[in-house]
A and B are shown apart, each in its own frame.
Chain A
Amino acid sequence: EVQLLQSGGGLAQPGGSLRVSCGASGFTFRNYAMTWVRQAPGKGLEWVSAISGSGGSTYYADSAKGRFTISRDNSKNTLYLQMNSLRAEDTAIYYCAKDRTAVAGGDFDYWGQGTLVTVSS
């Protein structure tokens, strides 16, 4: 059974940093691209970042470029999102999602449970 178990997140001050993690099981992690999608309170879905199965290709939304870093450790079956220079508008539930191919294609067949990131002083 495919499972994506998220951890991390919480409260950070504006300008601060946080890291969210996504532990994967039930599939060969290195064979699939992974992505992060967020949802601000009461708002719709916003794609944030994606990474290929090998980790050799990474992609970012304009809102995340220069501040967020996506990475993966295929030996630990874990996906990460390091968030720096946080702003109030980064407050959201962050979801990790598995792609159906090794390249970042937008075909997200499994999703994590979500983790809340709150940026506030």
Chain B
Amino acid sequence: IVMTQTPLSLSVTPGQPASMSCKSSQSLLNTDGKTYLYWYLQKPGQSPQLLFSEVSNRFSGVPDRFSGSGSGTDFTLKISRVEAEDVGIYYCMQSLQPGLFTFGPGTKVDIK
């Protein structure tokens, strides 16, 4: 499964919204009814961190200005009001099949 992300780079004014897209080459909806799409953020100089599981389940500690949505092959991560601490590279990742995980190329977010 190939993951694509757009845009690859995003420059946002603090307080403004941001949106990024992730598309998969095949549906990530499993027969168990779950959709195996995850979002990770890698802040500069840090290890990646989990933002969302199964499209829209916000991980503990993730601010509610972040939201994840989508289904099938099309997914979106939105930030309602960007803050300086949100800079980094956002990766989507699929895990439809055990042991065949693939990341997207990432969307780099910086502050204007």
Contact B47 A47 (CB under 8 A): no
State in angstroms the CA–CA spacing of A105 and B105 once bound together: 20
Asked if A109 is an interface residue, CB under 8 A from chain B, the answer is yes
Contact B98 A104 (CB under 8 A): yes
Chain A nearest CB, measured from B9 CB (Å): 13
Most chain A beta-carbon neighbours within 10 Å: one of B40, B42, B95? B95
Known A95-B47, A95-B48; contact A47-B98, beta-carbon cutoff 8 A: no
Contact A107 B95 (CB under 8 A): yes
Contact A104 B38 (CB under 8 A): no
Most chain A beta-carbon neighbours within 10 Å: one of B36, B93, B98? B98
For B103, give its contact among A46, A58, A97, A104 (CB under 8 Å). Answer: A46
For B48, give its contact among A58, A107, A111 (CB under 8 Å). Answer: A111
State in angstroms the CA–CA spacing of A54 and B11 once bound together: 44
Contact A106 B93 (CB under 8 A): yes
State in angstroms the CA–CA spacing of A118 and B48 once bound together: 20
In the complex, per-residue mask of A30-41: 1 if CB is within 8 Å of any chain B CB, else 0: 000001010000
Kindly report which residue of chain A lies nearest to residue B57, judged by CB atoms: A107
Chain A nearest CB, measured from B48 CB (Å): 6
Kindly report which residue of chain B lies nearest to residue A113, judged by CB atoms: B47
- Which of chain A's residues 87-108 have a Cβ closer than 8 Å to chain B? 95, 97, 100, 103-108
Asked if B68 is an interface residue, CB under 8 A from chain A, the answer is no
For this complex, 22 residue pairs linking A to B, each with C-beta atoms less than 8 Å apart, are: A37-B48, A44-B104, A45-B42, A45-B106, A46-B103, A47-B102, A47-B103, A50-B98, A50-B101, A59-B100, A60-B99, A97-B48, A100-B53, A103-B98, A104-B99, A105-B95, A107-B95, A108-B48, A111-B48, A112-B47, A113-B47, A114-B47
Residue numbers of B with Cβ under 8 A of A are 36, 38, 40, 42, 47-50, 53-54, 59, 89, 91, 93-95, 98-106
What 4 A-B pairs are tightest by C-beta distance, nearest first? A59-B99, A106-B95, A111-B47, A47-B101
